[in-house]
């Protein structure tokens, strides 16, 4: 049982009916799970308003309702029901969740990373470095949640508040002292990360993405959500080179440090040089400012330098030796992030999660600097998302790649052909060559079988994903498996 008043320790509320001096058996936001003497938080969602279930949950035995708008009149006549009014039930839910699990983030050092791209890679870099230095580090992100040796597949980049706080508690109980989390703009919009303070908050970059009726209504809203991290952390670390730096950091409530190439940055990269080796593309650079040391990465391009700078900027606050940072960065590999898959001695093939114009432009621009014979880009776009993304990605690939292979990604409830036509609209603004092959396996087969000596081929968009979503069903589809199947089939021919 939980003391009701203790759950509201960090919530601004008004008890408009009943008493706070009672206990509740549990807390629910799903009306189907309510049990006797429990508390039900009425969440106003996109498809269902929890306030409409108030009568049903009281009949099921709930003794406390948390509301932000009026509920059925008959409930106000029940003396045995406590009704608590808050301004926003989602925000209140996050604060209640923290109290429910004993405020675990107060004992963990939580490092949050927000930005359009680079979040996933950077979380793994930070985790690797900190663990090499002896810390126990949990991770929450797009691919998975990691608690010690347990990996839990992710459903959201930033989990809902109760799941997030449960993970914090499990990490603490497992002996973790640090948690690195991808803090998405949707997570801030839905108040999933309310109720605690980040030890360090990081802003990587921003581009016009996630602007749609189902995500963020305007660019201004998107910027505001990204900026919330710097109002909820003790130390902020931001990319001063980003065009949106001033807007995102405006009104920050933390101590602020910066990184980048600019002389304004407190941690800077200089003397960048590219190199190739057997099975990898690499980059070498020197840092100056807050940290001065040489760094070598077995991953390509300027975006890799930014990711490494971010990790260095964070880890220096944990007094980690330079050689540990250097070794961890050199060995770092992240599934689906510029992931090399060996298929031929003649050409290089990479899998990457680039699924918007900014990330696609970044990786193609970086790979172009390695002067390939041809740069080949295979990608599709997700259905039920902004059509602008398709036009933009098509134009980017048409401009930067020598050949674009347009295929299917996660069509969801749209027809793949319609999505491909939108991509072609973007490509046709350029002089880029392209082919379209709807079936992704056949598109990959085409890329491999037509690979030429010196080519760099990028399979973009799926990255770590091991499924394809069609009409509400997720079918197994891992590009690594597809590649191996294609190679086996080619050998047997």
Quick: pLDDT tens for 150-160.
999 988 889 99
For residue 406, is pLDDT > 60?
A: yes
One domain, residues 266 and 129: yes
Considering the domain architecture, whether residues 126 and 246 belong to the same structural domain is answered as yes
Higher pLDDT, 221 or 100: 100
Same domain, 363 and 458: yes
CA-atom Rg of the chain in angstroms:
24
Least Cα distance to 204 among 241, 250, 178 occurs for 241
Q: How confident is the model at residue 33 (pLDDT cuts 50, 70, 90)?
A: very high
Cβ-based neighbours of 370, under 8 Å, separated by 6 or more = 274, 276, 281, 300, 456
Q: What is the spatial distance between Cα 285 and Cα 118, in angstroms, rounded to a whole number? A: 18
- Domain containing 24 equals 2-99
Q: Are 70 and 120 in the same domain?
A: no
Both 134 and 281 in a single domain?
Answer: yes
pLDDT value for 214 = 57
Do 217 and 366 reside in the same domain of the chain?
A: no
Q: Give the pLDDT confidence score for residue 287 in this predicted structure.
A: 98
Give mean pLDDT, residues 5-13: 97
Question: What pLDDT was estimated at residue 210?
Answer: 56
- pLDDT, tens digit (0-9, with 9 covering 90-100), for 247-261: 999 999 999 999 999
DSSP-assigned beta bridge partners for residue 82: 64
Shared domain for 177 and 305, answered yes or no, is yes
Between 216 and 180, the more confident residue is 180
Report pLDDT for 155. Answer: 83
Q: Mean pLDDT over residues 7-20, rounded?
A: 96
| 330 within 8 A of 297, measured Cβ to Cβ | yes
pLDDT above 60: residue 212 = no
Do 204 and 323 fall into the same domain?
yes
Please check the confidence at residue 278 and state whether its pLDDT lies above 80.
no
As for how many domains the chain has, the answer is 3
Same domain flag for 359 and 267:
no
Q: What is the reported pLDDT for 282? A: 92
**Hey, what's the torsion of the CAs at 334, 340, 341, 345, to 10 degrees?**
-160
Given 99, 116, 150, the domain boundary residue is: 99
CATH number of the domain at 300, please: 3.40.1190.10
Determine the straight-line distance between the first and last CA of the chain, rounded to whole angstroms: 66
The dihedral through the CA atoms of 33, 90, 102, 59 has a sign that is negative
pLDDT score of 456 more than 90: yes
Residues 316 and 357 in one domain: no
Q: Does 178 share its domain with 306?
A: yes
Which of 276, 308, 331 is the endpoint of a domain? 331
Does the pLDDT value for residue 211 go beyond 70? no
Mean pLDDT score, 265-286: 90
Considering 274, 305, 331, which residue would you say is the last residue of a domain? 331
pLDDT value of position 219: 83
């Amino acid at each position: 049982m939980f003391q009701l008043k203790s759950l509201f320790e960090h919530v601004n509320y008004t008890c408009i009916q009943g008493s706070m001096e009672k206990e509740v058996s549990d807390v629910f936001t799903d009306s189907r799970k309510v049990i006797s003497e429990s508390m039900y938080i009425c969440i106003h969602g996109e498809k269902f308003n929890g306030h409409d279930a108030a009568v049903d949950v009281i009949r099921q035995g709930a003794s406390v309702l948390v509301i932000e708008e009026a509920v059925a009149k008959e409930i106000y006549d029940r003396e045995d029901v406590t009704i608590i009014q808050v301004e926003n039930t989602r925000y209140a839910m996050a604060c209640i969740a923290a109290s429910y699990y004993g405020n675990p983030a107060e004992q963990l050092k939580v490092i949050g990373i927000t930005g359009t791209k680079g979040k996933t890679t950077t979380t793994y870099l930070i985790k690797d470095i900190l663990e090499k230095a002896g810390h126990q580090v949990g991770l929450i992100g797009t691919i998975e949640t990691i608690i010690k040796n347990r990996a839990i597949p992710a459903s959201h980049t930033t989990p809902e508040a109760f799941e997030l706080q449960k993970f914090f508690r499990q990490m603490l109980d497992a002996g973790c002292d640090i948690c690195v989390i991808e803090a998405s703009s949707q997570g801030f919009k839905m108040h999933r990360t309310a109720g605690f303070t980040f030890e360090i908050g990081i802003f990587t970059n921003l581009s016009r993405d996630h602007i749609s009726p189902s995500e963020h209504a305007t660019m201004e809203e998107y910027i505001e959500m990204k900026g919330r991290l710097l109002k909820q952390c003790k130390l902020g670390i931001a990319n001063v080179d980003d065009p949106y730096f001033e807007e995102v950091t405006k009104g920050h409530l933390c101590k602020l440090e910066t990184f980048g190439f600019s002389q304004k940055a407190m941690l800077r990269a200089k003397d960048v040089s590219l190199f190739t080796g057997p099975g990898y593309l690499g980059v070498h650079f020197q840092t100056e400012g807050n940290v001065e040391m040489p760094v070598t990465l077995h991953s390509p391009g300027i975006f890799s330098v930014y990711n490494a700078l971010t990790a260095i900027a964070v880890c220096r606050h944990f007094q980690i030796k330079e050689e540990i940072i250097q070794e961890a960065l050199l060995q770092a590999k992240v599934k689906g992030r510029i992931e090399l898959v060996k298929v031929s001695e003649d050409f290089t093939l990479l899998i990457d999660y680039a699924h918007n114009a900014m990330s696609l432009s970044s990786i193609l621009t970086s790979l172009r600097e390695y002067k390939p014979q041809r740069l080949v880009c295979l990608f599709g776009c997700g259905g039920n998302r902004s059509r602008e993304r398709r036009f933009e990605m098509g134009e980017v690939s048409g401009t930067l790649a020598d050949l674009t292979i347009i295929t299917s990604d996660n069509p969801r409830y749209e027809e793949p052909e319609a999505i491909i036509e939108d991509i072609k609209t973007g490509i046709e603004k350029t002089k880029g060559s392209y082919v379209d092959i709807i079936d992704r396996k056949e598109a990959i087969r085409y890329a491999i079988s037509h690979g030429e000596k010196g080519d760099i081929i990028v399979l973009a968009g799926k990255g770590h994903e091991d499924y394809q979503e069609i009409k509400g069903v997720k079918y197994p589809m891992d590009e690594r498996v597809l590649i191996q199947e294609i190679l086996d089939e080619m050998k047997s021919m």
